[in-house]
């Protein structure tokens, strides 16, 4: 089975984010799904400004190169006011620019997120899927992954303390792998 290198964009900038903790849990589970997860940081990206398209800032060049070097991308999003965080939208704007150099075009993607709310990050994920569709990033459509975080569900070290949640996350990662396989096969045809 092919092992895929997966770039991960974490939509929250908080160092104590529950979505960052979810990333740690996924990274811990990923080898069992033949995936290697690595964060593609978005914290230091300047605000997108078309005036910079002709001479991309160093942070943007490194960000785009990291996405392009990844076999697939996972986007982990919190939900802010029923949408995605501005920092994540800004990263996607940079990933797709300048016009004609969309780093996400054809790149398999998968969306996940966690929240304390009962519907997890469902509304934010729908907004994110709409953006990814426009950016021509083939998305994993099923299974959807809306994780409701409760205290102690994921430790700081990334251990998932609920067995059914751990099993769900592992199966989701396996679906990400299968999705990457399908996109790679289609691209090779």
**Which H helix or E strand runs over 183?**
helix 163-188
How many domains, in total, are found in the chain?
Answer: 1
Q: What's the pTM?
A: 0.96
Q: Give me the tens of pLDDT residue by residue for the chain, a chain 189 residues long.
A: 799 999 999 999 999 999 999 999 999 999 999 999 999 999 999 999 999 999 999 999 999 999 999 999 999 999 999 999 999 999 999 999 999 999 999 999 999 999 998 888 999 999 999 999 999 999 999 999 999 999 999 999 999 999 999 999 999 999 999 999 999 999 888
Cβ atoms of 138 and 108 within 8 Å: the answer is yes
CA distances from 55 to 48, 106, 179 (A): 12, 24, 35
Token pair for 170:
């592992």
Host domain of residue 84: 4-188
CA dihedral defined by 60, 57, 87, 73, rounded to 10 degrees? Answer: 0
Domain CATH for 120: 3.40.50.360
């Amino acid at each position: 089975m092919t092992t895929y290198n997966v770039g991960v964009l974490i939509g929250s900038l908080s160092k104590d984010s529950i979505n960052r903790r979810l990333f740690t849990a996924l990274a811990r589970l990923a080898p069992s799904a033949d995936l290697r997860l690595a964060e593609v940081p978005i914290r230091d990206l300047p605000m997108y400004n078309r005036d910079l398209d002709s001479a991309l800032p160093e942070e943007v060049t490194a960000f785009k190169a990291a996405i392009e070097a990844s076999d697939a991308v996972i986007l982990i999003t919190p939900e802010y006011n029923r949408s995605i965080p501005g920092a994540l939208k800004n990263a996607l704007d940079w990933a797709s620019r300048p016009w004609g150099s969309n780093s996400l075009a054809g790149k398999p993607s998968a969306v996940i997120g966690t929240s304390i709310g009962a519907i997890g990050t469902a509304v934010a994920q729908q907004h994110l899927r709409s953006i990814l569709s426009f950016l021509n990033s083939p998305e994993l459509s099923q299974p959807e992954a809306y994780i409701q975080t409760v205290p102690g569900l994921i430790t700081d070290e990334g251990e998932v303390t609920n067995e059914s949640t751990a099993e769900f996350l592992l199966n989701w990662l396996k679906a990400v792998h299968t999705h990457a396989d399908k996109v790679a096969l289609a691209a090779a045809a």
